[in-house]
Every structure is written in structure tokens, then in C-alpha cells.
Homo-oligomer: A and B are copies of this chain.
Amino acid sequence: MRRWTITLALASTTLFAQATNDKSILGFTASNAAKEHALEAQFDAKLNRDDLRNWMQRLAGRPHHLGSDYDRQNTEFIASLFKSFGYDTHVEEFQVLFPTPKKRLVELIAPEKFTAKLFEPPLPQDATSGQTNEQLPVYNAYSIDGDVTGDLVYVNYGVPADYDELERRGVDVKGKIAIARYGGSWRGIKPKVAAEHGAIGCIIYSDPRDDGYYQGDVYPKGAYRNENGAQRGSVMDMPIHPGDPLTPGVGATTNAKRLDRKDVDVITKIPVLPISYGDALPLLSNLAGPVAPPDWRGALPITYHLGPGPARVHMDLEFNWNMVPCRDVIARLPGTDRAEQWVIRGNHYDAWVNGAADPISGQVAMLEEAKAIGELARSGWRPKRTIIYAAWDGEEQGLLGSTEWAEEHGDELRQHGVVYINSDSNARGFLEIGGSHTLERLTTQVARDVNDPERNVSVLERRRDREQTLATSEEARKEARERQLIRLDALGSGSDWTPFLQHTGIAAMNVGYGEEGGGGSYHSVYDSFDHYTRFVDPGFPYGIAQAETTGRLVLRLANADVLPLEFTTFADTLSRYVEELTKLAQTTRTEIEERNRLIRERAYEIAADPTKTYVSPKPETPAPYLNFAPLQNAVARLQQSAREYDRAATSIPSDAPNAASRETALDHALMHIEQALTTSQGLPRRPWFRHEIYAPGFYTGYGVKTVPGVREAIEQKQWNEANQQIEVVAGVINNYAAEVDRAADIARGRAE
């Protein structure tokens, strides 16, 4: 009979500096924690920068987008690596819809003629930039085909609020072509909102203010986007659902039932193409009409006008709507006594072009981590839980590989999935981490134990020092100074965690380094080995830091005596969200009231400059008070349950009877608990998204909306829906609290 105590240290009041000397690991007994530290030291010693460099050079050596020949070669290379590391490896293939360009034309036809180059020229300083035969040209995938001509209107970032501003100035996009700049939202939002407002076409360009010379010297002199650089990318309506457009909700296997393309709801309604700022300048400088509002102005040397016209644009786009194979590499290291619990770790390997940063920098760090864990396994150690590595294909098109796999294996995943750990691009700098808030202590303890390669302190301390030095409010300073735990960013979308967390209900996180290495190579031909090794992470020190970080996460999750989840921080985070929501409702109500008053008093009209067009806003229906009580009560109950769980889990007698079976029972209670945050009906108007706490915003695309059902109902002033969603989420949280209670009972030895 083993003796164990789960070291939770939850109510610790030790100051941060002391906490960094703490060697405890959540979920481990003290003696197993010591063994784990020893194992991790062995793990670290096996990591080698040269592998990262060599594999990046290999994998990013040629363009390797979904369906390309080199992508297939990379599949095989990655699979062979996993096999050589000792993993049980296979390739799982799906058939997906992937349009590539047949015709691309953007031309200014009045008041002068100009045809957009739509081309990123080879550079002598960039060895792979000349592989033009294999490069996917600059385009947006899942744009509809279309040949349109219209006057141009500048719509800023093209988010809904921008159209309110246009309306104030008497400008609309109906029957016109909208030109939006990248940024401010995920790109797919721009054609979606433009189409909602009646635009017939959409151009997206990279303004040098956000992504070009305003940020730093441009490539090849510096790291930033030059006048020819353009951003490829998918514009599939992913906030509805990611994955293959033809097979929503099910795996895109060869024989899967497929939608007709005309019935697909995630292809854009209007044609859309991305262009460089070199191509955008003649278009924008030929706009007249009102001067753009100050925060709409970019860094081109012109006066930004809104239009419409006199710039008149012709766009002609046509695509090959082909089916292509999408191949995931799945590598498994079976666990010992808890083999039925899967710790899943993934990073995609497909790119838009050569993709040295995106995604190969993350892929090679994951491969190195898998290599070291494989070597540990060969030397006799075995994980308690099963570890699954996944190299995803088709992420760039809309998380195709991960989504199809998660859909295909949904039942197994709900049964076996414990945590999904994602990564993507990696760069020099600071630890950036988001995820389910039950994982804050786990990630904090890992960050405490990883050394920053530049400053020889823990990456936790470096991150905290940065937050402290950047904090501008006393509140932020206090948080950075006093809060022991990393505050995880809530996850929206943008990489492969989405099908696991938001569709399947598996606790997830996304981990990477960044902020120091950078530039403007994103989704361009210049995202190359040459660019990466000059600017992004020369020498790969942060590739190694990444492997040390995600490797520890995998190892601790795989080895823990009991799964290292914590509920008090999650409950407190929920309580913050509910407070935000009540404030949002209050502010929205007050603003409507105030605006209606000013409209009645003609204040907007009186204040406006009569020499300029000004359309006063319309009065809105006053907002009701919402009943937040169910949500507030549910969160209060969860806070109570979480405290009880902590007490139970920390006070388990050191020689409890049936310790092993109690551990297993507790694990089973914990491993499925995130699923209690999902509902079978999912979010309003997008049932694929089932998580009631985290989702990408319907109008942000990547950016998270927490408690999305309630928050988006308030934002969109759907008051009945807001009240209904409060009830839904309250029910979910109450169920979740009941699960926490059950786990506490098991910890106390009261349950079966």
C-alpha cells in the first residue's frame, strides 16, 4: 500500500519569490515529484538544437501546402521520424475540399489604369523565395468564384463597428468593392461582414502601419513585410465551424456523406483576394469622399479617404475546386497502468508556402520533444498514461487535419482524452500560453522549472518581470507583482486546439514563445529558413525552451499520480467573467439610454460639421435589465465546491485504503470534467461549437469570447437570448459543480 499526498498548496500565501524555490508538482506526491524532476533533467539533456535546424531546413526546404507533393514527402519524413523514435505511428488520410487559384485579377480601371502584381518576387538573400513553380500564389482560400466591377470603399479593418462609422459619414458599400486592411479581426470576418452590408467584392491588404515599414526595416534588410509581401490565408467562415466544408461534424473519410458545394455555409458570399501594400497604394490613393477617421489611417504616404470611388476596380477570381488528401501523422506511446487516458500533443506541419516559422518552428520543437521522450522510453521509463503525438495537415485551410481527426474519433476522444496540448509557430521571447483555467497551476509550475535561454532566470520570472515593467495601471502592477499563477489567456481559435476544446470538450492549452523574434513574413513566400534563422530564433534557443516547456507538460500530465487539475482558479476566473458580463450589460444599457437622449436632443446633428455629410444614429429600443442571478448563484456554488475539493484532495490520509483504485477513480472523474462545460445543442446559430465558456467570436474569428452565448447576445442586443443563455450556462456550471463535488467525494473515499 503506497503512501501519497497530492501536493496542491492551493491556499499558499507565500510570496512569489519564495514560490519559485518550491519544488512541488501538482498531482504528484513529494517523492514522485522528486523522481519527476530527475526524469525531466534527463529529458532536457537529450534536446539538441542541431536537430531543430536540420529538420527545419528539410521540412521548409520547398513549398509544402496541403495536397502538394512536398507536403506528402513531409508526411512521410515526419512519420519515419516518429517511428525511429519508437512510437507506434500511422498516417490517417482524409479527403477534403481545397480550392486553388485558376484566375486572379485585380485592376484599377478608373480614374487611372493599374493592374495589381499579386506577386512576391524572388530575393537573392532568400534561398527558397525563387521556388515559384511550387508556390501557391497570393490568394484567400474558400473565396467564392466571381467577376465583379465596382467603386471602391475603404472600410478600415472591416469589422461591424467600422460600418457604423461609414454610415455616420453617409458611405455605404452596397454594390461596391470593399478594401479592408489586415488586422483588427481574423481575415475571414472581413468578406463576411462586407457581404452582410451588400458589398460585391472584398480586397484585403497589409497596411505598412500594421505590417510593414512602420514596424521596422523591411525584408531583406530587416524582418518586416516589404511592399510586395502579401498575406495568404483561409477565409472559410470558421466561427460557424472549422474543418472540411463538405463534412461538418463528421470525419472526411473517403466514403463520408458529403454536402453539395452549393449547400456549404462556410464559403464566402463574395470574391475576396489579399494584396500587398505596393498593390494597394494606387487603389487607395485614388479614393475621394470623406477623409478616414484618425484611427483608420495607415502608414501609406497619402491622405486616407473612404470613397466610394473615383477608384473603380475590377476583380476576376476563379478557383479549381479540387478534392485533395489531408494526412495526419499519429504517433502513440502507450501508458502503463492508465493507458486508457490519452495525453494528446499536436502541431500542424502543412504551410502556405515554405512556412519555416508557421508551422515548422513549432513542428521541429515538438519532434525534438517526442524524440527525447522516445529515448526515455527506450531507456526503461514508461508513462503512466498514453501519449499521442499528432502532426496535423491542412491547418492553414481551416484546421482540416485536426478537425477531421477529432470528428472521426469523437467517441474515443470523449472516452479517453485527458488534455490536448497545442503549439504552432515559435519565436524568440516570452512564454505565451492560453488554455483551460483548470490548468493554471500546472502551467505555472512548468514555467517555474524552465530556464530562459537569454536571461538565465525561469521563463516564469522573465514573463512576470515583463508584465511588471509594462504595467501601466496600479491594478496591472499589483496583479503582476502579487499573483503567483500565470493568468492563462482564454482560447478563441486560430490553431488546432479548437476541435478538441470547443467541439469535443477536452481541456486544452496552446503554448509558444514570442514577442522578440518577429517581423512580417506571415503567410508569405518569405517565411523561410533564411528569414527564420536571421530574425525569428537564430540558433534555436527558444525552440529548445519550447521543447522543455511542452515536454514537461506532457510528462507531468502523463506521469501524475492524480491529474493536475485545479478548480478554484477556474471558478474565480468564471466569477471575473460574470462580473465583466454584468458590467457589459450595464454599460450597453446606459449607452443606449444616453445615445437615445442625445438623438432626441439633436445633439449629434448640432455638433456635426454642416459642410460634411453626417447621418445621426437611429434611436434604439432601450435595453432591459437582465437576470444574472442564476449565473451568479451557479458560480458561487462552484467556488464553494472547488474549495471543498481542495480540502478533500489535500487532506487525503497518507495511507488510505485502496489508494490505487481511488487514484484511478479520481482520475476518471477529473478527465471528463471539461465535457460538463459543453452542451449537445452548442452555441446559438453554430451548434458545432459546444463549449459554453470558450469560443472564437462570431465577429472576431480568432479572438475569444468567454461565456459566448451570453456575451454575444448582449453585444448583439438580443436580450431574450441573453436571458435564455444565462440559464443555459448556469445549468452547465451547476452540473460542473456537481462533478467537482463527486470528485471531492471520491477524494474523501466516500464514493464507490
Q: Give Cα distance in the complex from A454 to B214, angstroms.
A: 40
Q: What CA separation (Å) do A606 and B455 show in the bound complex?
A: 6
Cβ contact within 8 Å between B607 and A297? no
Q: Closest Cβ of chain B: how far from A223's Cβ, in Å?
A: 11
* Interface contact A208-B516, CB-CB below 8 Å: no
Q: Is the CB of A303 within 8 A of B474?
A: no
Which of chain B's residues has its CB closest to A466's CB? B607
Of the candidate stretches A333-341, A457-465, A691-699, the one touching chain B is: A457-465
Instruction: Tell yes or no: A260 within 8 A of B by CB.
Output: no
Q: Is the beta-carbon distance between A301 and B213 smaller than 8 angstroms?
A: yes
Max chain B C-beta neighbours (<10 A), residue from A213, A469, A598, A611: A469
State which residues 245-296 of A face B: CB under 8 Å. Answer: 291
A214 to chain B, nearest CB (A): 6
A162 at the interface (CB under 8 A from B): no
Smallest Cβ distance from A238 to chain B, in angstroms? Answer: 30
Query: Is A580 positioned at the interface, with any CB of B under 8 Å from its CB?
Result: no
CA distance A611 to B607 in the complex (A): 51
- Contact indicator A454/B610 (Cβ below 8 Å): yes
Judge if A31 is at the interface, Cβ distance under 8 Å.
no
By the criterion CB–CB under 8 Å, are B217 and A606 in contact?
A: no
Say if the beta carbon of A752 comes within 8 Å of chain B: no
Specify which chain B residues have a CB less than 8 angstroms from the CB of A465 in the assembled complex: 598, 601-604, 606-607
Residues of chain B with a CB closer than 8 A to A461's CB: 606
Name the contact of A468 in the complex, choosing from B299, B454, B603 (C-beta under 8 A): B603
In the complex, which of the residues B297, B301, B469, B611 contacts A300, with contact meaning CB atoms closer than 8 Å?
Answer: B301
> What 0/1 readout, one digit per residue, does chain A (69-89) give for beta carbons within 8 Å of chain B?
000000000000000000000
Among residues 585 to 616 in chain A, which have CB atoms less than 8 Å away from a CB atom of chain B?
590, 594, 598, 601-607, 609-611
A291 touches B216 (CB 8 A): yes
Q: How many residues of A contact B (CB 8 A)?
A: 43
- Please, how many angstroms separate the alpha-carbon atoms of A291 and B605 in the complex? 43
Residues of B within 8 A of A748 (CB): none
Minimum CB–CB distance from A608 to chain B (whole Å) comes to: 8
A328 to B214, CA, bound (A): 49
Is A626 positioned at the interface, with any CB of B under 8 Å from its CB? no
> Is A53 among interface residues, defined by CB-CB distance under 8 A?
no
**For A123, what are the chain B residues with a Cβ–Cβ distance below 8 Å?**
none
The answer to whether B469 touches A604, judged by C-beta atoms less than 8 angstroms apart, is yes
Name the distance in Å between A121's Cβ and chain B's nearest Cβ: 19
Q: CB-nearest residue of chain B relative to A469? A: B607
Docked Cα-Cα span, A474 to B301, in Å, equals 37
Report the bound CA distance from A683 to B446 in whole Å.
58
In the complex, chain A residues 201-237 whose Cβ is within 8 Å of any chain B Cβ: 208, 213-218, 222, 224
Tell whether A302 is near chain B: CB-to-CB under 8 Å: yes
CA distance A466 to B594 in the complex (A): 14
- Residue on B nearest A602 in the bound complex, by CB: B465
Chain B residues whose C-beta falls within 8 Å of the C-beta of A222 in the assembled complex = 303
Q: Give A604 to B464 CA distance when docked, in angstroms.
A: 11
- Chain A interface (Cβ < 8 Å from any Cβ of B): 208, 213-218, 222, 224, 291, 297, 299-303, 429, 454-455, 457, 461-462, 465-466, 468-470, 474, 477, 516, 590, 594, 598, 601-607, 609-611
- The 5 listed contacts between A and B (C-beta, < 8 Å) are A216-B303, A429-B609, A465-B602, A468-B598, A469-B604
Beyond contacts A208-B301, A461-B606, A465-B603: 11 other A-B pairs, Cβ-Cβ < 8 A, are A213-B303, A216-B291, A299-B301, A455-B605, A455-B606, A457-B606, A468-B603, A469-B598, A469-B603, A469-B604, A516-B609
